Amino acid sequence: MRILLFGTSQIHNVRRLLEHNGNEVVFFTEEYFNMPKYMKPFLFLKMLKNIDLVYRVYSHPKYDWRLLLSKLAGKKTLTHWIGTDVLDAMREYRKLDITTKLSRTLIDLNLAGSPLLKEELKEIGVEAVEIPILPSMKFPNMASMPRKHAVLVYAPEGKEFFYGMDYVKNLAKEYTNIIFHIVANSQDNLLLPNVIFHGKLSLDEMGKLYDEITILFRFPEHDGLSIMLLEALSRGKYVIYPYRFPNVFTPKSRNFEDVLSCFVSIITTTPTINNDGARFVRDVYNESNILKMYNKVFIEIMKAGF
User: Predicted confidence band at 135 (pLDDT cuts at 50, 70, 90)?
Assistant: confident
Q: Cα–Cα distance between 256 and 174 in angstroms, integer?
A: 12
Letter string b/e over residues 100-114, b meaning 16 or more CB atoms within 10 A of that residue's CB: beebbebbbbbbbbb
Please tell me the predicted confidence (pLDDT) of residue 302: 86
pLDDT, tens digit, for every residue of 212-254? 999 999 999 999 888 899 999 999 999 999 999 999 999 999 9
Does residue 30 have a pLDDT over 60?
no
Q: Phi/psi class of residue 28: alpha, beta or left (left: φ > 0; alpha: ψ in -120 to 50)? A: beta
CA distance linking residue 246 with residue 244, whole number of Å: 7
- Which residues have CB under 8 Å from 231's CB, separation 6+? 137, 139, 140, 210
pLDDT digits (tens, 9 = 90+) for 58-112: 877 667 899 999 999 999 999 999 988 888 888 777 665 666 667 788 999 999 9
Return the top range by mean pLDDT from 126-135, 181-190, 238-247: 238-247
Q: Give me the pLDDT at residue 263, please.
A: 99
For the cut 80, the answer to whether the pLDDT of residue 163 exceeds it is yes
* Contact status, residue 216 vs residue 240, Cβ threshold 8 Å: yes
pLDDT digits (tens, 9 = 90+) for 260-301: 999 999 999 999 999 999 999 989 998 889 999 999 999 989
Residues facing 240 on adjacent strands: 217, 249
Residue 48: pLDDT band with limits 50, 70, 90: very high
- Domain 2-136+286-303 top-level CATH class: alpha beta
Residue 170 sits at φ, ψ, to 5 deg, of -70, -40
* Residue 305 pLDDT level (bands cut at 50, 70, 90): low
Q: Which CATH number fits domain 150-283: 3.20.20.80, 3.40.50.2000, 3.40.50.1110, 3.30.1280.10?
A: 3.40.50.2000
- Helix H, strand E, coil C: the string for the chain is CEEEEEECCCHHHHHHHHHHCCCEEEECCHHHCCCCHHHHHHHHHHHCCCCCEEEEECCCCCCCHHHHHHHHCCCEEEEEECCHHHHHHHHHHHCCCHHHHHHHCCCCEEEECCHHHHHHHHHCCCCCEECCCCCCCCCCCCCCCCCCCEEEEECCCCCCCCCCHHHHHHHHHHCCCCEEEEECCCCCCCCCCCEEEEECCCHHHHHHHHCCCCEEECCCCCCCCCHHHHHHHHCCCEEECCCCCCCCECCCCCCHHHHHHHHHHHHCCCCCCCHHHHHHHHHHCCHHHHHHHHHHHHHHHHHCCC
Q: Average pLDDT for residues 179-194, to the nearest whole number?
A: 91
Say which residue, 248 or 305, is predicted with more confidence. 248
Greater confidence (141 vs 216) lies with 216
Given this model, what pLDDT does residue 303 score?
A: 82
150-283 matches 2-136+286-303 in CATH topology: yes
- Average pLDDT of 172-184? 97
pTM equals 0.82
Q: Domain segments of the chain: what residues?
A: 2-136+286-303, 150-283
Residues 6+ apart with CB under 8 A from 24: 1, 2, 3
Distance CA 249, CA 224 (A): 17
The count of residues in the chain is 306
Burial of 169 (0-12, 13-18, 19+ CB in 10 A): middle
Spatial contact of 61 and 103, defined as CB atoms under 8 Å apart: yes
